[in-house]
Structure 1
Amino acid sequence: MLKEACVENFTNVPEVIANGARRIELCDNLAVGGTTVSPGVAVVTINYCHSKNVKVMSMIRPRGGNFIYSKEEIEMMKQDLVHLKELGTDGVVFGCLNDSGWIDEEAMIALLDLAKGLEVTFHMAFDQISPENQFKAIDWLEKHGVSRILTHGGQPDTKIEDNLGRLKEYIDYADDRIVILPGGGINTKNLPLITSELNVEEAHGTKIVG
């Protein structure tokens, strides 16, 4: 079981690694769902994690709020992605939507092109895609080289335990073509239940290790 710990800046990184995290999602501003960290935080965290043989997935998100971005915000994301790639991040985490409940394909293709050579996670923007489009979105993301989809299986105010049925549908549909990474409300207490019910090899959370 690979435990991906979502962390804010560097502060708790040594502790979560010591407690069993084997991949780090590096964010700032977790109160708004995570944004891009500063270059200084990125350098120190990446170097530390690599010294412990732990991978770093860096959030590419210019602000909190929705996932519908302006041209200027997309440009910020491009610049941050290129810089984090140069700093040695193992992967990046992002997701862009349009106002029709679908993927912003133009923005995603541009970012994915810059991310070549890195692992890419499409984050919980996935849960804001129209439910009738989510299986089609799995196909689109797999086709365009995304490594995994981070999903709660429902809206943020739901318990992940109540979303296991939907998560199973995603996993069955993905059929090992792309990793479905459950997250949002996973902790040390419910992790065994969720991983056994879903039969997954990776899970994500802010409290996934003690």
Structure 2
Amino acid sequence: MAKLEIAVQDVAGTRAALAGGADRIELCSALAVGGLTPSAGTAEASVEAAARRDGFVHALVRSRPGGYVYDADEVDTMCRDIRVLKAAGVHGVVVGALTAGGEIDLATLARWVEAAGGLPVTFHRALDASRDPMGQLMRLAGTGVGRVLSSGGRARAIEGLDMLGAMRRGGPEGIEVMAGGGVRAEDIRALVGTGVDAVHLSARESYLDPHPAGPGGGAQELDATSVDLVTRAQAECAAQAH
């Protein structure tokens, strides 16, 4: 059966993913901008919440929004973040970097894999922003990356079914393919039908904070991981397996 990964941005999200039966999480902050590196405190608390689930907490390492071409200071910062997150007890890290020419930045990736010190490493949807997602996937062989997150090069994974299937069938041996990108529960059976190893979604619901942020304090609309949506997504994964 395909695994279910939920992108969460706080400890409450970690608990919701556990309660809904997810197989693992991608722990982030700021999902509204695609996800950024979580704080050390959030990582520690999430690892404690998932203490009985080995391999459950994988942390995104992304220092800013925008594209995936990073300067030397940003690369160094993310190396430091990886080491901090490892010390906090996370079970894996999620990274991605490209060159200005749209290829995977193998030199930067090697530094991050080294910083991870043996933790499982996932290459995120920077792959979809590359000039040739399938060709660039092949370049990950032997890099220490064990999993890729991809929408099949499209805005939403449900639109990239053919490419996801090709990645799963023709990608490097030992690298799992996880479908993600605008995934809804109703998309999961079709995605799993391509043969992917896992499905990734955020399973969030929006709500208004009843407590005012004050003048200039920011938006009142927040979002939270929904146990019900996680449960439904897990059921869809299980249904496709039978």
TM over 0.5: yes
* Cα 1:193/1:178, change in 2 over 3 Å: same
Counterpart residue number, 1:30: 31
Counterpart residue number, 1:70: 71
3-state DSSP of counterpart to 1:51: coil
Deviations 1:125-152 (A, max 9, x none): 0001102xx3332222121110101001
What's the offset of the Cα at 1:54?
5.5
Counterpart residue number, 1:146: 145
Percent identity, aligned pairs only, is 31
* Cα 1:53/1:85, change in 2 over 3 Å: closer
Equivalent of residue 171 in structure 1, options 159, 168, 173:
168
Alignment of 1:131-142 (within 5 A): 131=132, 134-142=133-141
3-state DSSP of counterpart to 1:96: coil
Counterpart residue number, 1:46: 47
What's the offset of the Cα at 1:53?
4.5
Q: Which moved more, 1:87-96 or 1:112-121?
A: 112-121
Q: Once superposed, what is the RMSD of the aligned Cα atoms?
A: 1.6
Deviations 1:61-109 (A, max 9, x none): 1011111111111111000001111111110000011110011122111
Alpha-carbon separation, structure 1, partners of 2:136 and 2:51: 32
- Contact kept, 8 Å, 1:67 with 1:125, in 2: the verdict is yes
- Contact kept, 8 Å, 1:28 with 1:36, in 2: the verdict is yes
Counterpart residue number, 2:230: 209
* Cα 1:154/1:10, change in 2 over 3 Å: same
3-state DSSP of counterpart to 2:15: helix
- Contact kept, 8 Å, 2:165 with 2:196, in 1: the verdict is no
What's the offset of the Cα at 1:49?
1.3
* Cα 1:145/1:54, change in 2 over 3 Å: closer
What's the offset of the Cα at 1:191?
1.0
Structure of larger gyration radius: 2
- Contact kept, 8 Å, 1:187 with 1:209, in 2: the verdict is no
